[in-house]
Each structure stands twice: as C-alpha cells, then as structure tokens.
Chains A and B, each alone.
Chain A
Amino acid sequence: MSVLVYIEHTNGIIKKNALEAASYAVAYAEKTNGSALGVTIGNVSESEIKKLGNVGLEKVFNVGGHDYLNHQKVAAIMADVAQKNNSTTYIFSGSSEGKGAGPRLAVKMGAGIVSEVIEVPSSTSPITLVKKAFSGKGYANIQLNHEKNVIVLSTNAFGVHEKSVDVHIENISSEGNDTSLTHQSFDRDTKGISLPDAELVVSAGRGLKGAENWGMIEELAETLGAATACSKPVSDIGWRGHHEHVGQTGIAISPNLYIAIGISGAIQHLAGVSSSKTIVVINIDPEAPFFKAADYGIIGDAFEVVPKLNAAIKAIKG
C-alpha cells in the first residue's frame, strides 16, 4: 500500500507547504507500514526535487508538460498515477490547489476525504484522525471507514520534519486532459508573501482609523518578512482587499506568529486566528477581549508602538 502526496511548486520552486505535505506522507507511511510516493507536475528541476530528500521522501514521479494546471487537471493526473501504483492514501496541502483537487480525486477513486487534518493517525484500524472544526473553535476525531482516503492538511499544523534520504526520480507522462475550464489570465501578487501559508503575519483592524495609516503595518511586515492581514470590517470598508480578511468568514490561518494591531478580538475574528502558535496584541484598550487570547500584549497607541517595534526588530536583524 502506498501513500501518494501531491507536491506543489511555484514556477519550479517547491512550496513550503509541499515540504510539510511530504513530511506528513512519510510519517503516515511509517505509521501504516506503507511507502510514500511524491508527484510533481510541470517544470521542476531535478535539483529542486532532490530537496524532498530532506524530509524523507524516497521516490518522486515527475510528470512533464502541463505548463498550465488547475485543480481538475491535477485530480485527473493524480488519479492516473494512483491507479498505476495501487495507492490508497492521497495527501494534499490545504492550499487552493489541494482543496480543489482533493475532493475531485476522492470521487474519482471512490475514496473518503477529510480536510483540515492536523496529525498523523492515532490509530490505524480503523484510521482515526484529528481535524479542525468549527473554524478552530474545536477539534473532531474522525474515523475513516473507506479503504481509500484523501487527506487534506491544515497548513502549518503538522510542520516540516527533517529526515535525510536519497530521492529516486522517475519521469513519467500523464494526460490530465480536462478542458472544461478555460484559463484566461492570472492576477497574482508575486512580491508579497501569500497569507495562507505565511509563517509570520502582521494584522490590523479598525483601530488604525483609515487606509492611509497602513504604511507602518506594511513596513513592520516587510522588516519581519511577514504577510499582512486585516479584520473583516477593514476589508468591508475597502481599506484593504478581501484576500486579507481573516477570521471565521475569511481565511483561517495558523502562522507561528500573529501580531494583531488595533483589533478588538471579536469571537469571529479569533476563530480564524486562535491556532496561531504565538499571538501578540497591541491595543489601546486594556479591556480589549483579544488580550485573553494572546501570549504577549502591549497596552498602548498603535501609532506610537508600531514604529518603535519596527525599529527594535530592524536593530536585531542588523
């Protein structure tokens, strides 16, 4: 029985969430006495694929061609590779590609599917897994009753675990000829850090009083190498784009560090960010509910504290 893991890349560079998925697949295979097999699609160099050896992945199928990919094509190619290799478990990152391809692959393979998974199975007969539910307000222990299963991970929950092996690469071809969606154009922000897989996030709320005040937020984010986020009202008013809205009805994130500036900490906001590993709150109101969910807090005016914090971090980064 093999565990197939889909390895995402951006323009040939393997994504961090793909290293996490590979790491998970290796641990899952160990737990279930199987082997882990990776799949890359498109133009990825051999030296780049070899990086998967750092997380213990011993074999990777490199599917050539496919300059343009979408979730429907990924699912078709994964199904083809899965059938040829008798794979019964299929791992995806919780990215837009993974969340798109996973459900389609499940249907193609007659498999079950669980998403937002945070751990390897606690038991293997039957497979029992923990997933996030209620937007981070709870966890569910799920029992899988299928022979075959798709597992979609919660980003940054399992983590990347180093383990050095040699990678064997096999170049293969697979059609994936799903043409029912016609691509017109992409509009991607290539300079900023993408929020869903960012390790550090600087986020601000209505306490900033206006779009014109985001300069200091962007500067702090740049100093840290962090992505920027915002509360819902901020994106509703149009101070920031919708793609930055985090929370129960926005994007759920779990970075290593979440800095919340001028955000009160409403339950819907907390739902989407409370699984961040470390939370820092900067708020002028000592009674702001966010302090109850924080690890570190500064009670003060953001317009004074944020520039100081930026300078202090710059100082240590040299």
Chain B
Amino acid sequence: MIQEKLKRDLAELASTLDGKLLRLEELPIDRKLTRFLLSRNLLKTKPALTKSFLRTRCMRCGNETPRKFAEIPCQKCNKAHFYCRNCMDMGRLMECDVLYYWNGPSAVWSKQKNPCSWEGTLTRAQEKAALRIKEAITNREKEILTWAVCGAGKTEMLFPGISKALEEGMRICLATPRADVVRELKPRLEKAFRHIPIQALYGGSKDKHKQAQLIIATTHQLLRYEKAFDVMIIDEVDAFPFHADPALPFAQKRSAKRNCTTIYLTATPREDLKAEIRRGKLTHVFVPVRYHGHPLPVPKLKMWHSLNKELPKLQSSNPLLYWLLNRQNPKRQLLVFVPTVERAGQLKTPLTNLMLKHKLIHHPNQLGSVHASDPDRERKVVSFREKTLKVILTTTILERGVTFPSVDVAILDAGHDVFDEAALVQIAGRAGRNSNDPTGEVLFFHDGKTEAMLAAIYAIKQMNKRGGF
C-alpha cells in the first residue's frame, strides 16, 4: 500500500518538476519537501553562474557577454559576486545562487485517445502541410520548416501533428515571441483539444504552477525548461526577439529532449534559413496560398518627395490624403504604420485633424495609436476589433500575430531602416485576411525606393506565382 502511494506521489512530482530548471523561489513545492527531495537525490542543484579562467556563463540564459554581467555585494557571503543582467526579469541570478532540477523517474504523459475536437476542415494546401508535419513527428525527424504565407491558417495545420503527438504520449510546447499571441492561441487550442490540459505561459500569466502535456509559451519562458519536450513548435522563427537574442535559441535547444522534433513556422524566413533550404540542409514544406484561396495583396509604392518635412504637420494636400480620399473600399478600417514611437506621437493629432476635416472619421476617439510599451495596447487592439476605433497609428509592434478581418494598410516612411523585407511582407500580410473581404490595399509611402521595398514586393509576387495566381 505505502509502496503504491509513494509511486503515485513520485509520478505526481515528476510531472510537476521533470523538465524544469528553477530558482528556489520558483519551485512549486514547500521547503520541507524540497529538503527531503534533495536529501534523496531526487532533486539536484547546479550553480546558476559558472566561472572559468576567462569567462563567466549564466546557466539559465547562456549569456557569456562580459558587459552583460555586473557585480553586486552579496549580503550572505559578504563579498562581491557577478550577476547576470541578461535574464533579470526572471529573477536575479548571482554566483552563489543555484538552479534546481528533477533527478527522479521521468514524467509519464498520457497516451490520449482522439484528442482533437476540432470540427473544421483543412484546405488542400493546408492539408498537404499538415500531413507532412504529422509525418515528421511520427518519424521523429529532427526539424522541419513550415513556410506559410501570412493568412495561410498555420494554426489549423498544426492540429493533426499535435493530435498525433498527444496520442503517442508526447509533451508538446508551442513557443511564440509575443504574449499577445499566447493569449490569442490559448482559447483556440482549448477548443480544438477540449479534454487536454493546456498551460499558457508568459510574463504575468497565472498558469505558472499547473502541469500540462501541451504548453503554449512565449519563447522567453523556455529559459525555465531543460530536456522537457518531445515536440517543439517555434512560431515566427524569424521574428524579434527570437532572431535578435541569442539566449532564446539557447533556451530552445536546451528545453528539447534528445529525440525532439522541432517544427519552425514562418511567413518570412530570413536569409540564413533560406540558404539552408537551398543547400538541402533544412527540410521544408511550403504553403503558398491563403486559406481563403485568394492571392496576397501586392503593395503599391507611392513617392512622397518631402515626406520627412511634411509628415510632422500633415497640413497641405499630400499623397496620403489623396489616397485616403480615393480608397477602393472606404468602409475598411485602417492600419497606419510609422517607424518610431516619436513619429506616432507626433502624427497623432495632425492625422486626426486631417481625417476629421475630410469626414474620414467623425470623432477624434476613432483614431488611436499604439506602441510596444503602451500599457493600453491590449485594450486598443480590442477596440479596433470591435470597430470603435477606425484607425490605428502603430509602430511595427502590430506587424505580425494580429489579425483583423477588413483593413487597408499604409506605411509612412517605408524607406526607414526598421522596415526590412520581412517587416514589409508581414505588414502587407495584414490586409485581405478574411474570406468576406479577401483583398485590401497596401501602400508604401516613401521618399526614395529601398532594396527592402523592392525585395518585399518581389517576394510577395513570387509567392502568388507559386500559389498559382
């Protein structure tokens, strides 16, 4: 009897702790149990920072850059220690800190029967990719890239593969760069896998201590895992910050189990991935058509000579106004992208006044602006979705991950450095997302063409061509 109970308790603990790498304060068990598990070698520790002759390394985020460490006087040890400045938002780690990991029997996850409760159907293009992804999981392939245009319906394409993994008793993590996207995906996956416990992890989420076979997380949260997942789905693999922060690829690699299958998703692969595809080093499946079967809107370039001089005030007649007055479908909502937060702040009032004057909006509250550190971002996006906001003035923060049914898109100063090829393709991909309004206008206002603009238009046309248009 006691043996049985012990076994059950151990299994329970394993499913809570196996695959995690945590600070003492993060352990979901009390101190007494922690001490007991440590004494039985079921829980082990390793130093948070390692120091060798030449370099210091953070064992949580992999940081080795000297300037990303600093010194702090430690009260406990009475001397100065290094601490890692790179992963501080998950709690400061210094030299005398340790990270805890499970050393008992591995967690066993259920082999779920008929886990998928989704009743929709996939288009032919989606199905082809879905089957390929499922095959990759079945065969335990190391990695596969799914290159699907904006609006291809990539989440649904994952369902057969996720089902297969759940049937096999695998643990799955879907990682995406933005918390917004985690919040959006959670209800969709809960509907599609009604009986499967799903955990959503992002900074500030309340799901932290649950244990689930299927996890949706911001890529950042992977820093708390080690050898945890059989299947990893890395969404928007080209996106900031996954692309920019070396800690994230490090965490991704570490949180994978040895036989893990990694599925990368992107609409705009960076040059390095494309090169790997060309060299035959990276298997990929391409989805060139949107789920509704219509081609991608091709952006139009609009020259605006004195753009940088005229933008701050927006007084006289200008190319933007001319377009605004002559849109094909004036009922569509409007996304206006600008390169910087300063520009958004500067333009808000003049653009509101201009649109009021020409009766394009009827109240100043119909135009809102958002940026990355805007505390009201979530609410404004909801108002736009509910159509109380007609126009959003935004930085690149809304370039991906968010979907609105019927919008036109304009970029002001499309020649700015922040608008690289991937950003431009993503922004253009905001238009024509819904089958009720599958087209939409995309305008790049600029004061001189850039490589990026031309490359983006070329890429979009190429994809349409591959899609048979």
Q: Do A and B bind?
A: no
